A and B are shown apart, each in its own frame.
Chain A
Amino acid sequence: MNEVKVPRINANEDEVFLSDILVREGDRVTEGQELFSVETTKSTISVNAEQDGYVRRILVTQTEMVDVGKLLCILTESPDEPLDADLAQESAAAESVQDAPKMTAKQRLLAKKKAAKSRTAADAVEEETWVPSEELPWVAEARETLSKQDVSGACSVFSEEDARQQGFVVGEQVRWGSGVSIKARRLWIGEGAVIGSDTIIDADAVYIGAYTKIGKRSEMITREIIIGDGVVVGQEVLVDIAGGLSSESRLLVGNGCLIASRAMVNTCREVVMEPESALSPGAMVFTHRFWQSVLDGYSTRFSSVRIGHRAWAGAGCQILPGTKIGIGSIVISNSTVTDNVPAGCLFGGIPGKVLRENAACEIAPAERVNILADQLDGFSQLLSFKGCATELAADRKSLTVGLPDGDTYTIELLETEKTDATFRDKRIVLLLEGTVEEPVQGSVFLFESMTFIGETTPLSAELRNYLRRQGIRFHPFAWDSSYKKGLPDA
């Protein structure tokens, strides 16, 4: 026997409004079927059947205010099992009031369809609760870092020395291209970052993460720029404030993202790219839309855009104001995103729609090893091209590499850590599970955390780059920071 009670929806409201009674005594219900609707001052939720069964008693007869915890109805698995005596009495009392209205088949059908819709809508909401940008940890951290700088008037700087002199923070080994000018009140550039020649950056606050690369002749003009670590911004990328500068004009880009060449990001309102999301060449993000006059009945839109973690908008896409691209989804090139893109799907067209609900296949954990073994196989062929002698083990989980300079390395694919002796000089380990403490001998790719520890050698740099081209990125790089460190051409 299942007692259905008025749920507590929030901490503040002890009484809620029962707005819909969707079943009658005697009805057969199925798991998840909506039984009642209750409303607080802010929301309406369904009270659903927890399992298949029969409605034996309904203890409410009309839409009214009800206390949280009040018994609404009793369900039993079979239509005739006996109920508790006191409950029978309570319901008899309720029955003496007017009869519940008779439901037609159509009403039952609509109730069913509504419940099904709210179920899928609820699922969707669960998957994609977008955290407000100010609460994203990497945004908060960057702002924290920037806030430590002395706020004086904005000034333009033309070199790293210039910048340091002004009190800005510029990390080690930053490469500042010729003709680059940055105008800001606060500026923080992480170590190893690269800013391509003739790029112009003009914002109130600028945070550029470690090992991030910004290509030549880009122009980024907005109010706040936060770009994480290892991000690639291509050549001739445009970030602007067409549509008007506002308090929300900002570009927030997480670690490992890609904004490819000639992409255009309009920041009339906020644009957030969650970590490891990508905009292919020529993609365009709009946060404003207006042309014809509102006096003639045309509409305008000014609204932020959000690109979810690991999502990818293809070349030439247009992403329109107010849209959100769900986690892990793909928008095919030249599409127009007019509406939110659900997570994980393949989306495309003008106007865009879901082409396939799952862009990716499900991979059993056991498969990952095989996929990596394939990678190792492919890598060995690249190495031959680079003049190395290679020998791949029969199980393809081990590769011996003879470098042109005479050194011999081994690359091992391991599912879990073996012993301390596993890690040694001239050995590169790909460790699928588990972690290893530094210092460690040789080089280790840790797949659990997607980090790389140990020695960077030309071979490890080459392998890291190879894996990156299969979407396997080890923090912080979305780009080839080490191509010059890789193996020379044969």
Chain B
Amino acid sequence: MTPDTLERAVWTRKHLITLNELTREEILFILDTAESFKEVSTRSVKKVPALRGRVVVTMFFEDSTRTRLSFELAAQRLSADVIDFAEKMSSTQKGESLIDTARNIEAMGVDIMILRHPASGAPLDLTRAVNCCVVNAGDGQHAHPTQGLLDLFTIRERKGRIDGLNVAIVGDIAHSRVARSDLVGLLKLGAKVWFVGPPTLVPRSFEQLGARVTHDFDAILPEMDVVNMLRIQKERITSNVFPSVREYVKLFGLDRQRLTRCKPDVLIMHPGPVNRGIELAADVADGPQSSILRQVTNGLAVRMAVLFLCQQAAGHPAAAARA
């Protein structure tokens, strides 16, 4: 924990939409706050009363296992009441718009909305339509800020720092909101980031966002401190932007052979769910360098911190002015 950050920073945002709008100090403040929430999960009573009497709704318009469960558990550990909006059984099937649905849910007295949506920008739209807090749980190809934060948290925990680290993010960058959120957070905290993959999935245009782009994984591998392997989405494998699976595994898959060329203390990450044998070999995914399960554990503490801070800011005049 860095007491300096806790001393200076005051959190005044009631929404978390992307990491772009956050300062370096605000990101560190969330990470430091999350640090203090880790302890809650280790006690006999795994609950604190910070959000007692508050209502949190999860609205997921895309499939998700760990993100939804992680948010729900985070809210419950803060003693909030959690309700779950199931899109497939709802009036959106009758044509109700997202905004109308959200306004109706808000009218029931909701304090925090957690939204995952296939359309990039949907959470930002939502902030203009409702008064409660909005937390982005992933929108289209745009952003997944809590995944970005938990990746930063895990890197800092394992490496002791982020500043000056070399980080490779490998896979389908073009369609990845995780890659974008990781990039933004890592650059703000002083890391160097390489985007790695075939040219069809990693266009050069990403250099404009501050990433280094390469199509030669093996060339940069020995210099990397962290390698984050993104999931290859099955639906893209059949499209013509994707090489054959065999070719992909040969060039960009991380197996034991390739791992021997990495730094011995390299940190292997994956946002899950893993396609074993494609982007990650099973023995690498379960090996000592892997932090995959640690990321999931840390995700809970990070999401508790985000829910707590946004709710705390909601009653504050500075947050109202900013929203």
Do A and B share a complex? no
Binding site for B on A (CB under 8 A): none
